[in-house]
């Protein structure tokens, strides 16, 4: 009976109730869509970080990451790579050499991270080859060894296909080594900082310049069936790695770890701010509804309805009002989000700022089902909290005085 009365009371003032329901729905549509947009942007960044920049796991010699010293390398790297690839959860692995050279060109100088890769193996681990916008992916087109550079670095040093760069570094013996490379290709990823600092050459060319023994590697990159399994697979690889350091992509990139670990908290804080704003509107609406029915509530008390039932009735009115608007908001927000799961949102107007931090300019929304359940629960809690003050106000009414109120 209380449920029926409460539902009828919601619609006693249809205009006011509809306005409040629309306000709640609009707030949640904006909230749900923004959460999906933020999640989509983060998912794209994580995808870029794991597929293009880091892979899911990496192996290094102990202390190599402290200063990238060329003498700290993994011996018999191909043997270790083959053992790793035999694991069920591993899709591919590729050994690399890494150096930090000084680069000189006709129109400037720069530094960066020079990575020596075996092109066919590397294609199974990272997708840099798919981001080549001009030229080829480390194909030998002249007598000079090829180098693949990022679009940002190409613009900075005014390089184009066929340009020559001189690469200087300290080799394995501590001597200064200088070698010329010919630009064979230019790539462009979603991360301009990465594009400006990472160059790719063939493994044998860099090994020769560094003077390192055969089958050595500074880094082994590993791709798994699922990036979420990285921390679970790590112990198995650590056993095979023979004392070398194994790190997940989250350990290699702390900022990525923060994005994934705290993204849900950020989104819920955002939706709570929206619900907090709506809470004041709901309190105002329910308070008006209570004050308008002072005489009626007094009569109900006078004929024997106890305060607990009065309190419950007003609480239910608030929850029904909030939940009705919330359901519409969640459903419409989810429908809009579904559209943009396959149709990207173009934010290229902000490309300079976004690409500096590795975020894509074409974003697909992404929303987890459990997020919608949590939002629905938060909406109900908001309705409950919003009704407490108006309900308490009603309980303070004196039946005798309330029935005399005009």
Is residue 54, in this structure, part of any structural domain at all?
Answer: no
Is residue 251, in this structure, part of any structural domain at all?
Answer: no
Identify the segments of the chain with pLDDT beneath 50: none
Q: Say what the pLDDT of residue 179 is.
A: 95
- CB atoms inside a 10 Å sphere around CB 268: 15
Tens digits of residue pLDDT in 43-80: 888 888 899 999 999 999 999 998 888 899 999 999 99
43 DSSP assignment? H
Among 214, 243, 272, identify where a domain stops.
Answer: 243
Q: Say what the pLDDT of residue 233 is.
A: 94
Q: Say what the pLDDT of residue 74 is.
A: 95
Is residue 34, in this structure, part of any structural domain at all?
Answer: yes
In terms of domains, do 194 and 335 share one? no
Is residue 215 within 8 A of residue 77, CB to CB? The reply is: yes
Pairing mode of beta strands 176-187, 146-150? parallel
252 DSSP assignment? H
In terms of domains, do 75 and 197 share one? yes
Q: Say what the pLDDT of residue 86 is.
A: 92
Q: Say what the pLDDT of residue 103 is.
A: 94
Q: Which residues have a Cβ under 8 Å from the Cβ of 6 and sit 6 or more positions away?
A: 313, 314, 316, 317, 320
In terms of domains, do 184 and 262 share one? no
Radius of gyration of the chain from its Cα atoms, rounded to whole angstroms: 31
In terms of domains, do 296 and 325 share one? yes
Among 243, 278, 307, identify where a domain stops.
Answer: 243
In terms of domains, do 185 and 271 share one? no
In terms of domains, do 33 and 147 share one? no
Is residue 107, in this structure, part of any structural domain at all?
Answer: yes
pTM: 0.80
In terms of domains, do 312 and 200 share one? no
In terms of domains, do 81 and 229 share one? yes
Tens digits of residue pLDDT in 160-205: 999 999 999 998 888 899 999 999 999 999 899 999 999 999 999 9
Tens digits of residue pLDDT in 95-114: 999 999 999 998 899 888 99
Is residue 56, in this structure, part of any structural domain at all?
Answer: no
In terms of domains, do 226 and 264 share one? no
Here the tokens at position 131 are: 């981001």
In terms of domains, do 224 and 174 share one? yes
In terms of domains, do 229 and 183 share one? yes
Q: Say what the pLDDT of residue 1 is.
A: 65
Is residue 249, in this structure, part of any structural domain at all?
Answer: no
Is residue 252, in this structure, part of any structural domain at all?
Answer: no
In terms of domains, do 86 and 28 share one? no
Is residue 250, in this structure, part of any structural domain at all?
Answer: no
Among 197, 221, 243, identify where a domain stops.
Answer: 243
Q: Say what the pLDDT of residue 202 is.
A: 96
Q: Say what the pLDDT of residue 100 is.
A: 93
Give the count of domains, the chain: 2
Q: Say what the pLDDT of residue 399 is.
A: 54
**199-234: b or e for each residue (b if 16 or more CB lie within 10 Å)?**
bbbbbebbbebbebeebbbbbbbbbbeebeebeebb
Domain of 344? 2-49+257-403
Cα–Cα distances in angstroms (integers) from residue 399 to residues 251, 291, 299, 306, 390, in the given order: 66, 14, 6, 11, 17
């Amino acid at each position: 009976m209380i449920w029926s009365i409460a539902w009828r009371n919601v619609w006693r003032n249809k205009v006011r109730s509809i306005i409040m329901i629309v306000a709640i729905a609009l707030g949640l549509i904006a909230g749900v869509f923004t959460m999906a947009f933020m999640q989509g942007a983060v998912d794209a960044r994580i995808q870029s970080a794991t597929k293009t920049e880091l892979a899911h796991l990496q192996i290094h010699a102990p202390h190599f990451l402290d200063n990238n010293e060329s003498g700290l390398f993994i011996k018999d790297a191909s043997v270790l790579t083959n053992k790793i690839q035999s694991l069920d959860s591993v899709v591919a692995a590729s050994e690399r050499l890494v150096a930090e050279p000084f680069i000189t060109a006709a129109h400037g100088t720069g530094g960066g991270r020079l990575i020596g890769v075996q092109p066919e193996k590397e294609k199974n681990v990272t997708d840099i080859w798919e981001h080549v916008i001009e030229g080829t992916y480390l194909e030998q087109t002249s007598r000079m060894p090829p180098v693949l550079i990022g679009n940002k670095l190409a613009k900075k040093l005014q390089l184009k296909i066929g340009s020559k760069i001189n690469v200087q570094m300290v080799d394995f013996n501590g001597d200064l080594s200088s070698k010329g490379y010919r630009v064979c290709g230019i790539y462009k990823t979603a991360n301009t900082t990465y594009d400006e600092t990472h160059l790719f050459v063939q493994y044998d060319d860099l090994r020769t310049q560094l003077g390192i023994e055969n089958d050595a590697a500074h880094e082994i990159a590993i791709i798994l069936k699922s990036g979420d399994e990285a921390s679970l697979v790590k112990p198995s690889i650590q056993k095979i790695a023979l004392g070398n350091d194994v790190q997940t992509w989250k350990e290699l990139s702390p900022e990525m770890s923060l994005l994934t670990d705290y993204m849900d908290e950020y989104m819920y804080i955002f939706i709570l701010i929206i619900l907090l704003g709506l809470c004041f509107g709901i309190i105002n609406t329910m308070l008006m509804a209570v004050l308008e029915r002072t005489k009626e509530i007094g009569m109900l008390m006078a004929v024997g309805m106890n305060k607990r039932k009065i309190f419950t009735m007003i609480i239910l009115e608030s929850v029904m009002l909030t939940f009705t608007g919330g359901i519409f908001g969640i459903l419409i927000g989810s429908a809009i989000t579904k559209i943009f799961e396959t149709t990207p949102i173009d934010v290229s107007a902000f490309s300079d700022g976004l690409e500096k931090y590795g975020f894509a300019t074409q974003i697909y929304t992404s929303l987890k089902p459990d997020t919608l359940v949590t939002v629905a629960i938060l909406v109900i809690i908001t309705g409950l909290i919003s009704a407490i003050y108006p309900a308490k106000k009603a309980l303070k009414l004196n039946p005798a005085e309330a029935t005399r109120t005009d």
